[in-house]
Structure 1
Amino acid sequence: MLNNIQPQAVLFDLDGTLVDSVPDLSHALDAAFTELGFSAPGEDRVRGWVGNGALKLVERALAFSLTDKKIEPQRLNQVHQKFLFHYSLSNGKASRLYEGVSEALEILQRQKIPMAIVTNKPIEFVPGLLSGLGISGYFKVLVGGECTHKRKPSPQPLFYACRLLGVEPSQCLMVGDSKQDVSAARAAGMAVAAVSYGYNHGEAIELSEPDFVLAELQSFMGSIVSQ
């Protein structure tokens, strides 16, 4: 575990940590639901459902919309495919970087600290989103929801990113916004910082007891590289 030393690599979650992607996710989910005869959930509800990948997002939305709460696999798959189609059209259009993100990534890059994205988001949407936001050049490795057999909170995606980076997990820092990120980092034997502004299903991230709770990324990254 890191102990007052500069990490050899930093792994970042994407949605809710670097990027506020809910406007695009909500647009796609509303479009899919409306097309299939459901009421559009709306952005406020979607904010509370993001965090475990696209399929889980759709499942939570269906559970809210169906009066009997019975989600048949065929229906789930149908809505999921519609959502993916609409998200392919909206991805990146209204998403925005959180304050201080670009500056934080620049600090790490100047120190030649390799960075990776480790997200539960489908990998097909990751490169385009990063490119559209102007931050794709910072990351040596991209790990999406389908890149390993299990997703966060499993440590598998973190271990995979470390192998690709050639860095031991104990010498890495995971930065996320949810209890899934904290749990994955703990299971990987990795230090973990969590932002307080992300998507954690309405639960204060402090309850998950990360090593660091951050109001923004820039100051924290500046502090760890100056040690």
Structure 2
Amino acid sequence: MFTDIRAVIIDLDGTMVDTAPDFLLAVNRMREDLGLSAITLAEIKRMVGKGSEHLIRQVLATDFDEAGVQQHFDVALAGYQHHYAQINGLHSELYPDVMNGLQAMQALGLKLACVTNKPLVFAQVLLQMKGLAPYFSLTYGGDSFAHKKPHPLPLLSVCQQFGLPPAQVLAIGDSSNDAIAARAAGCPVLTVPYGYNHGEPVQNIQSDGIVETLLSAAKLLTTPTTT
């Protein structure tokens, strides 16, 4: 399955960078603005991964019914984005062997794309701050297309841009969003075990395997398939 891979699509939050502390600080500053109490890191980790709009709706749903969520949504989203822009990347850390993994993939001659549900401007700033931007020839955010993951459109767009069939483009992520999008696009997909996945066990994700790090994934691509 991994002997003819020509490109790799990699998720950002929970896959390359542990951004949950950034989310927590921005969300709780927004909640303070609204007179709401702080929520915990564990709660945030269950909510992230499906884009800013979904995150804010989940955050507000801890305090309000559906009508209340709708009533406060616009102000809450604007406040969150304001606070996140100020602290983006300041409290986040690369996961182990991310840089080594990207270097190994680059050494194999693979084309690399970052596809995230994070707004594109936030993703670009974070990639640059953490020294990851030079490895990616394409970066797409949750607002780059009409649909975000788990819809296959972002992944299919990468395949089209690279001029490759989906079967030759490996997706790597930490959540069911990544696997569902990859399956729908026709891409093989690997999962890392240390991300968020909406609070669900990574073993529940229907992927083609779990790899400990991005470097492990790169090494898998160099291992011949035995029969």
Same fold (TM over 0.5): yes
Structure 1 length-normalised TM: 0.94
Equivalent position of 2:42 in the other structure: 44
Q: CA deviation at 1:220?
A: 2.4
The secondary structure found in structure 2 opposite 1:161 is helix
In structure 1, list runs of 5 or more residues that go unmatched. Answer: none
Q: What secondary structure, in the 3-state scheme, does the structure 1 residue paired with 2:128 have? A: helix
**Correspondence 1:197 to 2:197:** no
State the secondary structure of the residue aligned to 1:149. Answer: coil
Deviations 1:136-190 (A, max 9, x none): 1000000101111111110001011122222221210000111111100000011
Count of aligned pairs between the two proteins: 224
The answer (yes or no) to whether the contact 1:13–1:181 under 8 Å persists in 2 is: yes
Counterparts of 1:29 and 1:4, CA distance in 2: 39
Aligned-partner residue type, residue 160 of structure 2: R
The answer to whether the Cα contact below 8 Å between 1:6 and 1:225 also exists between their aligned partners in 2 is no
CA distance in structure 1 between the aligned counterparts of 2:2 and 2:125, rounded to whole angstroms: 35
The corresponding residue for 1:77 is 74
CA contact (8 A) 1:26 1:46 kept: yes
Q: Answer yes or no: is 1:180 the counterpart of 2:177.
A: yes
Name the counterpart of 2:155: 158
The CA distance in 2 between the partners of 1:75 and 1:188, in whole Å, is: 35
- Tell me the equivalent position of 1:13: 11
Does residue 141 of the first structure (1) align with residue 124 of the second (2)? Answer: no
**Structure 2: stretches of 5+ with no match in the other structure:** none
Pairing 1:87-106 to 2, within 5 Å after superposition:
87-106=84-103
- Report the AA paired with residue 8 of structure 1: R
Write the distance in 2 (CA, Å) between the matches of 1:186 and 1:87. 31
Instruction: Name segments (4+ residues, structure 1) moved above 2 Å.
Output: 68-74
Q: What whole-Å deviation, never above 9, does each CA across 1:74-93 have from its counterpart, x for those lacking one?
A: 41111001000000001010
Identity in percent? 36
Partners of 1:43 and 1:73 in 2: CA distance: 24
Aligned partner of 2:124 in structure 1 is 127
- Distance in 2 (CA, whole Å) between partners of 1:4 and 1:170 is 9
Partner of 2:26: 28
| Residue 60 of structure 1: aligned partner | 58
Closer/same/farther in 2, CA of residues 72 and 47 from structure 1, 3 Å limit: closer
Q: Distance in 2 between matches of 1:119 and 1:74?
A: 28
C-alpha deviation, 1:226, in angstroms: 4.3
For residues 226 and 210 of structure 1, the distance between their equivalents in structure 2, rounded to whole angstroms, comes to 19
Q: Distance in 1 between matches of 2:193 and 2:10?
A: 14
Q: Matches of 2:155 and 2:2 in 1, distance apart?
A: 21
Shift, 1:72, TM fit: 4.4
